[in-house]
Structure 1
Amino acid sequence: MTVLRPGVAESDPARDGAGRGVPAPPPPSPHRTTPANGTPHNSSSQQPNAGLVQLHESIAALFASRGQWRQAYHHLRSALDLLSSEQIEPPHVPEQLRNEVDRLRREHAEAREQSLRDSLTASYNRRYLDQRLVDLLTDQERRTTGGLAVALVDLDWFKQVNDTYGHLIGDRVLQRVVELLQDGLPEGAFCARYGGEEFVLVLPDIDAQTAVAVCEAARARAERFSWQQLASGLRVTVSIGLAHEPAPEQAGAPLSVDPQAQLLRADSLLYVAKQSGRNAVAYREGGRVRLAGAAAGRRAVAEPRVVGYY
């Protein structure tokens, strides 16, 4: 008589003729179906990372609602990466997700731009000025045909404007001066607020003579502007100190890579413009300090402050 182990029948298909046990097929999964071609697939795991994608989208929406654009953008990028990892072809990005990514990109770009702008005048701020000057001074290839000019601009008697007309008019004067300084700047040039009523014009890829002409034109625009539009009896002028760094082949030596050195030279020349009667552009040519435009030849030129860079 054959002794059967508990739970095993003589006709059990899981046993072969030699009595060796053959593993029975696993029970069908409630989540698996077999299509007509006989190839099983998992209907609930076509995109196993779908839950993570939704989670990243939800977190991104939360960060975006708080104005934390960098974190929101990071989670949306993670969602896109998960979608890409599951498909051989480029994924079809849901329109809502695509719009959200585009919006966050714009918001991030705008936020960065605002972080580099002066809130009152919309000119660039000191942070941007310092970063850009380093880039320009170390970019030797951009100096192959021209040089780099830095002009320090200061409003004349601006304290009297605030004392006489009030700070609201003073703010409007600063805003209008920036507009006048930026009007007609060559391509690549920009205006930045240095502090208070001082501004910097940065003129890359420019020769010394053209730089003088640009600064003198800016000074003249400020002088000719009808300031009575802002307040009766108001008159505003600016003084400018211009320092030009020639191209390497013109100077015979590499450019200075210290932006503070060029700003100090411009500051010394601004002092000359102030001490020579204001409303003037002071620059150096052939080892001598000169005044540009109408101020040339009718004023005595003051001695520049010694800053150790001449």
Structure 2
Amino acid sequence: MTPEGTRRTPVMLQLHRSVHTDAVNVTTSMLECFVAIVDEHGLGNAARALGVSQPTVSGTVRSLETELGVELFRREANTLVLSPEGAALLPLARRTVLDHRAAERVVDELRTTNPGGAAPTVRIALSDRSTTPELIAAFVAARPGSRIDVVTIADPAEALAQVRTGQIDCAVVPDSDAPSDLVHEHLPDDVRVLALPPGSGHVGTLDQLDAAVPLAVLAPTHRVGVGVVDALAGLGIVATVVLSGVPQQALPGLVAHGIGAAVMSESMARSVAAAGGSVVPWPAPPSERTRIVYSPNWVAPLINSSIDQLDRGQSVGTKTNHS
């Protein structure tokens, strides 16, 4: 979505000027440049993000300021800072850009989908900590026949940035990363377990682990692995991180093949149990709760329906929107 070489539909905004009131002709490309400067922290970064030259971005924003009759940015110590007028315009500009992109996506889907065909694609970002099986099953159950694109984004900040720009429709992020400018709500608590490889014996609880047998631990990150080791040490169990940097989705297969033990969601551990391994309840701290985050566009009803599927009729909390 760039200002150069892209067709744009003018967006008519009724704004009250200080002297008089009239209609101004503001294009989506103008607003997109304005939002990009704010999000990318400067003209140069905005130009790179939009795939255009810096003079193009600068000229487009000057045209926007001329059209509106207000100054949107002020320069302080070689840094562009939003003016009060710019801060007031930003929420509307961001929503307009997102709505325009959503409309373009719907039109593109209609052009490529026959009547009665598949529903529009929903793009969802998941990290290695996300509850992938339950979440995708919920989406499928909520809208049979829909196309779902799953994108793995390890950095929650990057996932949220792509939700804001309309590159993806929603993201599942840790509770601590949930933003104030997007709609978000808790997913049902995910039951965490310690999956043990085949040959570990019949273990039902953590205190039944054999303290005399050192435990090899697999983890998506070294930090997570150290946390598991420390928790086991509190029970007198000697454990060592033998493999880290493992995608969450790969952990069940590695545990089932006897490489080591790993903490994962209960649903992901089913394949380990089927292979002869053991599954032990694992206490997950509240900070590991997750939220689904999305922009309030056309995908919202699908998100709500999916959460209903996930929750199986129980309340998951109050929807929050601080935009």
TM-score, normalized by length of structure 2?
0.24
Q: Greater strand percent: which structure?
A: 2
The structure whose Rg is larger is: 1
TM-score, normalised relative to structure 1: 0.25
Greater relative contact order: 1 or 2 (C-alpha under 8 angstroms, separation 6 or more)? 2
